[in-house]
Amino acid sequence: MTDKALAVGDTDVFIPVSINEETCIGCNLCVMVCQPDVFVPSIDPGGVPVVLYPSECWYVGDCVDVCPVPDCIALHVMDKNKVIWKRKESGEEFQLS
Amino acid sequence: MTASQAQFDWPYPIKWGEEQRVDTDVLVLGGGIAGCWAAIAVARNKGTAVTLVEKARTIRSGAGGSGCDHWEHAVTNPCCPLTPEEITQAQIDSNDGYNNGISHYIEAKEGYDRLLDLEKMGGKIRDTEDEFEGAEFRDEKTKLLFAYDYVNRYTIRTWGTTFKPALHAECRRLNVGILDRTMVTALLTEDGKQGGRVVGAVGFHVHTGRFVVIRAKASILCTSRPSRLWLFTPDLAGISEFRPMQACGDGHAISWRVGAEFTMLEKAVRAEWSGARSFPPYGTGNTHNTWYPCNMVDATGRELPWVDRDGNTLETTADRCRPAPGQKFFLKGGGETWFQKYEFLGPDLPPTEELIRMGYKLPFYADLSSLPEMERKAIWGLMIGEESKTKIPIKRMYEDAGFDPSKDQLRSYGDSWWSAKFKPSERQFFGLPGGLVNNWELRTNLEGLYAAGDTLFASDCHGHAAATGYYAGRHAARYAMSAQEPMIDENQVQRERKSTYAPAKREKGIAWKDLNVSITKIMQEYCGAVKSDELLTQGLNVLQDLREGEGASVFARNPHELMRSLEVLNILTNAEIVIHSSLVRKASCKQLHFMRSDSTEMDPPEWHKFMVVSRNGHGVRLRELPIDYYAPMGENYEKHNQDYIRENSI
Ligand SMILES: Cc1cc2nc3c(=O)[nH]c(=O)nc-3n(C[C@H](O)[C@H](O)[C@H](O)COP(=O)(O)OP(=O)(O)OC[C@H]3O[C@@H](n4cnc5c(N)ncnc54)[C@H](O)[C@@H]3O)c2cc1C
Ligand code: SF4
Ligand code: SF4
């Protein structure tokens, strides 16, 4: 075992969270709170965290809840999980976007 | 860089091989709901040091880390006419005795005390802003809000997103030593012997890889229940199961290795929820749990009929929240699958097939808009919002996309909340699965090792975890005060250090996900819906091959992958425990969802008992316990809790 370790991200999977690189202040609160450790902090101090293990996301949204910058981090839903609702009066159908 | 597909040097400082030593009186393993409460109880016992080890971050970790919308069985609240004996006995009877009479009695007896405690710490448990003034489910004096049975008022609606941060802050205020992002990998025993007194644990930091050795007079296992034995989807690993993937039953595997006893692990139900196939939990129209007692309509807008246990139609929403004529109380309704005894059966919709026969057209929708306003607000706003996993992914995201509960009807997918259908061979630990055997001190069979929350057999729910956590903390602290100094066996430490690091020493091999897939395939094939001695024995042999083959070549390139690899090796051990537990029960049992093809008899009376298994060398020891081994509940509780009873009567 060396003193090295390599970060190898998940490939070809759905990405459940995205961070707005323009507004993120690199506080790493999202990294701190995430149970399964989906993120790792940027190697640059104050940089934008990396979504390294997207397949391990629990879709709980604690990262979104804790972020101090409005609309900076977003949770996404897979297409197959987008539920439908119907406006009662008009019968018009909507789907989670 | 915000996407994955990245490869770079590990961003945390690497400390492979470095060692941290901690000495404490009581060690709490797992900082979820039970773990935090256990640590608080120990810390309140003046002069007793406590260390809590948590794989994630205590502030939001565990199944209840991000919320809890209903607190069950709080029978000692001032509005409930029931007794702890009544509600516990009902839970026992409705499971034909296959239940934990000790832990559920503690839940009923002390759960409400914990809720009051939580309020002092900053948790919100009542309608202080009078948002629900005048609602039928509100007590105007205490401002408590109730769910389900509004006559008996034993389940309390809560603002549970406030709970975990409050518990975390209380732990810090009480100087609990918290080791976050640290995975416990083994328990230490006196002289390193299986079956000996538990004297601490080892683990490692999941960012740096640093090894940690903790010496403790007593330890409390609060690592929750196993998962990912039958269900695993590599691309959606984090939602392969209902609960967070950190809590996958490590505690079961590590305590099995040192000789702890387990029961009821032969019970696994047909799977109810998995992210790969189900829709987001609480995010589809249904009548279950959080959504109780919602109106449902069919595709033409015709309202589906709610009925009581005798099939009588219930006209109003309020009727769904009362016991049936001649019934004292009910144990949930609305698609509840665990308490199906007539005596305790709650209001429900007829099964979907029957509704279709009655002419109702698919798909069905939940119609919040036609509910009385207070009920609508209680479901969408309070419960959807405060339930773990609903604040952001359901409430905020649906509303941002335009969903309006006063105007819109939300699609229901499949039957009730599980929103998917699973094959009979796809099993899951849901409801009241097996786990560690406990006595009236919540001690296991091993001296120095206590257990609480969902690690216990037949356990479930937030209030149960809180009450049993606190209770185990009290008893462990009392033991620690008079216990002898613990002696760590350094040979055992070195052995465990070697196996902890083993996957990180390999440069290549099998990835943890592949190993997990293999386990689920084996479990579905050899330990699925229908069992037999031949199948189970073959299953054990195949698992053994897997352990010696792919299991011995699983590899990790950083501490995070090491955590995942060790988790899967623990899942492999848990699969073995489940098979051993299944092998010793020779007759089918309906309540345990346990079917055998080599025994035609269902529930013969001589098998109405707990089968208890533990590891004995490389073999398995079997012990039997009477189905009511904990009786009489009230008397035994009093015998073991005089201090608590005295303190609380002052
Ligand atoms: C989405 C959701 C909603 C729920 N809503 C409700 C509700 O409204 N009401 C209700 O009564 N119940 C609810 N429950 C159930 C309730 O949350 C659980 O029963 C309760 O959290 C169990 O507590 P616990 O302490 O046993 O386990 P958890 O709270 O899950 O804690 C276990 C902890 O152990 C840690 N751990 C595991 N392995 C290790 C290791 N090797 N080393 C260190 N740490 C480890 C985990 O990281 C975790 O933090 C819900 C569950 C879920 C998933
Ligand atoms: S949604 Fe939850 S699990 Fe997913 S990245 Fe955010 S905090 Fe982590
Ligand atoms: S919490 Fe928000 S601002 Fe802070 S690092 Fe994460 S995304 Fe950026």
Domain presence at residue B231 = no
Domain presence at residue A6 = no
Minimal Cα distance from A1: which residue of B? Answer: B505
**What's the token pair of residue B353?**
């097939």
What pLDDT is recorded for position B1? 44
Q: Which residues from chain A sit within 8 angstroms of residue B560, using beta carbons?
A: 37, 53
Q: Which of B279, B408, B560 sits opposite A37 (nearest CB)?
A: B560
Atom of ligand 3 nearest to the CA of A67: 1
Low-confidence ranges of chain B (pLDDT < 70): 1-5, 339, 650
Are residues A7 and B10, on separate chains, in Cβ contact within 8 Å?
yes
Domain presence at residue A46 = yes
What pLDDT is recorded for position B115? 98
Burial of B214 (0-12, 13-18, 19+ CB in 10 A): buried
Beta bridge partners of B24: B216
CA distance B293 to B334: 7
Ligand 3 pocket, residue A17 CB under 6 Å: no
CA distance A45 to A94: 42
The structural domain count of chain A equals: 1
What pLDDT is recorded for position B435? 98
Domain presence at residue A4 = no
Task: Report the SS3 class of residue B473.
Answer: helix
What pLDDT is recorded for position A52? 97
Domain presence at residue B178 = no
What pLDDT is recorded for position B418? 83
> How close B9 gets to chain A, by Cα (Å)?
5
Residue type, B59: I
Beta strands in A1-97 (DSSP E): 6-8, 17-19, 39-40, 50-51, 73-75, 84-87, 93-95
Domain presence at residue B363 = yes
pTM reported for the whole predicted model: 0.98
CA separation, residue B93 to residues B87, B343, B384 (Å): 10, 9, 31
CA distance A84 to A78: 13
Q: Which residues from chain A sit within 8 angstroms of residue B397, using beta carbons?
A: 75, 77, 96
Q: Which residues from chain A sit within 8 angstroms of residue B417, using beta carbons?
A: none
Domain presence at residue B491 = no
> How close B270 gets to chain A, by Cα (Å)?
22
Within 368-407 of B, beta carbons closer than 8 Å to A belong to 369, 388-389, 391-393, 396-398, 401-403, 407
Sign of the dihedral defined by the CA atoms of residues B397, B398, B403, B404, in that order: negative
DSSP letters spanning B166-235 = HHHHHHHHTT-EEETTEEEEEEEEGGG-TTSPEEEEEEEETTT--EEEEEEEEEEE-------SS---GG
> How close B121 gets to chain A, by Cα (Å)?
20
pLDDT-based confidence at residue A1 (cuts at 50, 70, 90): low
Whether the CB-CB separation of B187 and B219 falls below 8 Å is answered with: yes
Domain presence at residue A12 = no
What pLDDT is recorded for position B504? 97
Backbone angles phi, psi at B40, to 5 degrees: -65, -45
Domain with residue A35: its CATH number is 3.30.70.20
Tokens 């918290």 correspond to B178
The structural domain count of chain B equals: 1
- Chain Cα centroid distance, residue A52: 10
Domain presence at residue B511 = no
Kind and range of the H or E run holding A63: helix A62-66
Q: Which of A3, A34, A58 sits opposite B16 (nearest CB)?
A: A3
pLDDT-based confidence at residue A7 (cuts at 50, 70, 90): very high
What pLDDT is recorded for position B339? 66
Ligand 1 pocket, residue B283 CB under 6 Å: no
Domain presence at residue A90 = yes
Domain presence at residue B374 = yes
Task: List Cβ neighbours of B502 (8 Å cut-off, separation of 6 or more).
Answer: none
Give the number of other Cβ atoms within 10 Å of residue B174's Cβ.
14
Beta bridge partners of B219: B27, B449
Q: Which of B560, B562, B564, B565 to mutate to probe the A interface, most A CBs <10 Å?
A: B560
Domain presence at residue B350 = yes
Its domain, for residue B361, covers: 125-158+279-421
Tokens 């509840």 correspond to B336
Whether the CB-CB separation of B239 and A16 falls below 8 Å is answered with: no
Residue B300 touches partner A, C-beta closer than 8 Å: no
Beta bridge partners of B408: A87
Its domain, for residue A85, covers: 17-94
